[in-house]
């Protein structure tokens, strides 16, 4: 799998390249925005790691120009600026994720793996219905028997992952990596907490709980569960 690394700090570029190559990725390194855009427009890459603060054309400009030319590579933006506006600018330009410097090599590799897994998923239907729950993936809204379901962003991603994979038992680790987008190292019961919140909200809206706990394995959305008649 081919990756493009755009970083003008030579020592950092060498370190990242070495770590990626140890995972058997083929890595091309360039150090300025013009070379980066040329690579993205003329070559095929699964993912580009793009530093914002590069010479000639900055990373945001490169990202925006690449997306304008329909470049489909996943883009992970690196930035030394931790302000909300800087992060929003990168995402608005078409980046898929961002990582603030300084970062650990382990975190960078985790982000790369998560982004590549996400990119490999087949395109699913925009609307998914399981039991009493209906999810509009394009509109990012969910309803229970026609009633709006008030969900936070993480709850919505969790619900989406469960519904799209209805009938499949998903382990806690699979859920963490997909919903949180990288290897989560926080509280061990984070999945249980969010599943409990989802169940409470679905039941509160008058629906049957579509989520089954498979003890010792994980969770599964069950297609056949519906509430009683209104």
Question: Could you tell me the strand order of the sheet in which 133-136 lies?
Answer: 127-130, 133-136, 141-144, 147-149
pLDDT value at 215 more than 60: yes
pTM: 0.55
Question: Tell me: the pLDDT tens digits for 10-54?
Answer: 999 999 999 999 999 999 999 999 999 999 999 989 999 999 999
Question: Tell me: the pLDDT tens digits for 57-83?
Answer: 999 999 999 988 888 888 999 988 766
Mean pLDDT confidence for 188-217: 90
Domain-by-domain residue ranges, the chain? 2-120, 127-221
Domain 127-221 grouped into CATH 3.30.460.10? no
The answer to whether residues 188 and 167 touch, using CB atoms and an 8 Å cutoff, is no
The pLDDT assigned to 116 comes to 87
SS3 label, residue 194: helix
Angle, alpha carbons 195-166-212 (nearest 5°)? 40
Question: Tell me: the pLDDT tens digits for 94-126?
Answer: 888 888 888 899 999 998 998 888 776 655 568
pLDDT value at 204 more than 70: yes
List b or e across 65-74, with b for residues whose CB sees 16 or more CB atoms inside 10 angstroms.
bbbeeebebb
Question: Tell me: the pLDDT tens digits for 129-175?
Answer: 888 999 998 888 999 999 999 888 888 999 999 998 888 889 888 88
Homologous superfamily of 2-120: Response regulator (3.40.50.2300)
The pLDDT assigned to 230 comes to 39
Q: How many Å apart are CA 106 and CA 49, to the nearest integer?
A: 15
Mean pLDDT confidence for 188-197: 85
The answer to whether residues 7 and 13 touch, using CB atoms and an 8 Å cutoff, is yes
Which residues, 6 or more positions from 148, have their beta carbon under 8 angstroms from its beta carbon?
141, 142
Tell me, yes or no, if the two domains 2-120 and 127-221 fold the same way.
no
The pLDDT assigned to 89 comes to 78
Which segment, 83-87, 175-179, 211-215, is predicted with the most confidence on average? Answer: 211-215
The pLDDT assigned to 174 comes to 86
Classify residue 212 as exposed, middle or buried by CB count within 10 Å of its CB (0-12, 13-18, 19+).
middle
Q: State both tokens at 63.
A: 């990202």
């Amino acid at each position: 799998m081919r990756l493009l690394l755009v970083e003008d700090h030579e020592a950092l570029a060498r370190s990242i390249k070495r770590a990626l190559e140890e995972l058997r990725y083929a890595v091309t390194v360039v150090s300025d925005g013009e070379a980066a855009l040329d690579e993205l427009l003329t070559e095929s890459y699964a993912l580009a790691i793009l530093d914002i603060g590069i010479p000639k054309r900055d990373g945001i400009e490169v990202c925006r120009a690449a997306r304008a030319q329909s470049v489909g590579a996943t883009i992970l933006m690196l930035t030394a600026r931790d302000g909300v506006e800087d992060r929003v600018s990168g995402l608005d330009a078409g980046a898929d994720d961002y990582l603030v410097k300084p970062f650990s090599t382990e975190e960078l590799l985790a982000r790369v793996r998560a982004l590549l897994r996400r990119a490999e998923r087949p395109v699913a239907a925009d609307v998914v219905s399981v039991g009493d729950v209906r999810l509009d993936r394009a509109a990012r809204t969910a309803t229970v028997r026609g009633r709006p379901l008030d969900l936070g962003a993480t709850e919505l991603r969790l619900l989406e992952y469960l519904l799209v994979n209805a009938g499949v038992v998903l382990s806690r680790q699979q859920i963490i990596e997909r919903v949180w987008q990288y290897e989560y190292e926080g509280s061990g019961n984070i999945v249980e907490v969010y599943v409990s919140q989802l169940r409470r909200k679905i039941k509160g809206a008058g629906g049957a709980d579509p989520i089954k706990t498979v003890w010792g394995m994980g969770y599964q959305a069950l297609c056949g569960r519906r509430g009683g008649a209104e």
